[in-house]
Amino acid sequence: MRTLGSFVTRFRDRFSTLPKGTRLAVLVVLVMLVYLLPIINPPGLTTVDSDFASVLFSMAMYAIIAVGLNIVIGYAGLLDLGYVGFFAVGAFTVAVLGSAHGHIPWLLCVPAAIAVTMISGVLLGAPTLRVRGDYLAIVTLGFGEIIRLVLVNTSWLGGAAGISNLPTPPSVSLFSIPHLVWNGAVPLVDPTASSTFLKFSVTDATPYYWLALSVLLVILFLDWLMQNSRVGRSWEATREDEDAAELMGVPTFRFKLLAFAMGAAIGGLSGTLFAARQGFVNPDNFTIIYSSLFVAMVVVGGQGNRWGVVAAAALLIWLPERFRFLSDARYLLFGIALILLAVFRPQGLLPPRRRIRAIAADETEEVLEEGVTHA
């Protein structure tokens, strides 16, 4: 695990020394390859027992969720165990406006869902963010379960059966792209499988994956802008020492509430993508176990590192599907892998640079103290 971290650090440092044009070209090529994954079906990555495009869509959608929760946990230092509640609010806003009590197009439902989830984040955060630590975790955990129980027991929201016939993104059939199959190391065109660009249907998840990936890239860019602004520095100061930040003039409550609202908005946005792809929603899609999975993505990836949480979200969704042939045993292996990660790399797969520097400083201090003791 330590070797992986040092490798990533060296790669990141060397990549940053490349000319700007070269870095941009490499990033463009990598992004194009990621977009083409469901088309080229690379051997070793393709999930044989599951639809690969559907798995890729889930990876992109959960990556969006992880980035939103990383704002709350990684940047602001607020432990939110009920994030699935915002995910559910976004999905059910689309269901209510687009199917159950209206016929509003999906594109108009999306900003409405973002606004509703942001308001719900403010309403939750305003009375609860004055508590800290475990108490905040308990309150948010209750929020996630309250949302599910309200959905189950409210007939206006579909009750336990949920809501079906949800609207989908508008389709524009421009051109078809054939898929590849592999004969060993030789790629061949598959005449029986193709994806139509921007044609959203139940049978083909590839356009949904392209949509979710595009949304993820936009969210990552906005996340980068926020982290490197005054807002991001205020979140970091609040996370490290809230009392010291208050003494330095940072209105910590206001910035914690902003983190809650931004995280809720991103969670609601991911809910709209989930609703569009599923075509139906019911309370069973939003149990409290999903909140634990969301938190695991942030912790495993490295709290505060957007690329780390994206990588963790992709891995935690892809691994069980890739090893589906192992049946229930794959979850045992999955749990063992998480335990090993927690033991040997508690800072996560890709911790932020500040975290790496802090660990290096602590190790240096321990070596110096040992040297003084022996002397």
Per-residue pLDDT at 196: 84
Question: Using one digit for the tens of pLDDT, what is the confidence trace for 169-179?
Answer: 988 877 788 88
The answer on pLDDT for 11 being more than 70 is no
Per-residue pLDDT at 26: 85
Q: What is the mean predicted confidence (pLDDT) over 39-59?
A: 88
Burial of 184 (0-12, 13-18, 19+ CB in 10 A): exposed
The answer on pLDDT for 271 being more than 80 is yes
The answer on pLDDT for 330 being more than 80 is no
Per-residue pLDDT at 371: 59
Q: What is the mean predicted confidence (pLDDT) over 197-206?
A: 87
Split at pLDDT 50, 70, 90, the class of 43 is confident
Say how many domains are in the chain: 1
Any domain includes 128: yes
Per-residue pLDDT at 175: 79
Any domain includes 79: yes
% of the chain surpassing 70 pLDDT: 88
Per-residue pLDDT at 310: 93
Split at pLDDT 50, 70, 90, the class of 265 is very high
Which residues are within 8 A (CB) of 163 and not within 5 positions of it... i.e. 6 or more apart? 92, 95, 96, 99, 100, 157, 280, 281, 282
Backbone angles phi, psi at 159, to 5 degrees: 65, -150
Per-residue pLDDT at 264: 94
Per-residue pLDDT at 323: 80
- Nearest-5° angle of CA 88, CA 92, CA 112? 105
The answer on pLDDT for 269 being more than 80 is yes
Q: What is the mean predicted confidence (pLDDT) over 312-330?
A: 81
Any domain includes 42: no
Query: Per this entry, what is the length of the chain?
Result: 375
Token pair in block for residue 23: 């870095």
Backbone angles phi, psi at 268, to 5 degrees: -65, -40
Residue with tokens 């979850």: 331
Split at pLDDT 50, 70, 90, the class of 274 is very high
Q: Are 302 and 313 in contact (CB under 8 A)?
A: no
Per-residue pLDDT at 22: 82
Q: Would residue 40 be called left, alpha or beta, if left means φ above 0 and alpha means ψ between -120 and 50 degrees?
A: alpha
The answer on pLDDT for 133 being more than 80 is no
Strands (DSSP E) found in 172-266: 176-183, 186-196
Question: Using one digit for the tens of pLDDT, what is the confidence trace for 98-128?
Answer: 987 888 999 999 999 999 999 999 998 888 8
Highest mean pLDDT, choosing among 170-174, 272-276, 362-366: 272-276
The answer on pLDDT for 157 being more than 80 is yes
Percent helix, strand and coil across the chain, each rounded to 5? 70, 5, 25
Q: Are 219 and 64 in contact (CB under 8 A)?
A: yes
Q: What is the mean predicted confidence (pLDDT) over 70-76?
A: 91
Q: What is the mean predicted confidence (pLDDT) over 61-73?
A: 94
177: which strand partners?
195
Any domain includes 34: no
Per-residue pLDDT at 27: 87
Arithmetic mean of pLDDT over the chain: 85
Split at pLDDT 50, 70, 90, the class of 366 is low
| Gap between the terminal Cα atoms of the chain | 33
CA distances from 324 to 201, 318, 321, 328 (A): 25, 10, 5, 8
Per-residue pLDDT at 337: 75
Split at pLDDT 50, 70, 90, the class of 300 is confident
Token pair in block for residue 73: 């946990």
Residue with tokens 């995910």: 87
Per-residue pLDDT at 340: 79
The answer on pLDDT for 180 being more than 70 is yes
The answer on pLDDT for 374 being more than 70 is no
Per-residue pLDDT at 372: 57
Any domain includes 125: yes
Q: Of 41, 80, 35, which Cα lies nearest the Cα of 60?
A: 35
Any domain includes 348: yes
CATH number at residue 320: 1.10.3470
Q: Which amino acid is at 306?
A: R
* Domain coverage including residue 366: 2-12+52-374
Per-residue pLDDT at 158: 87
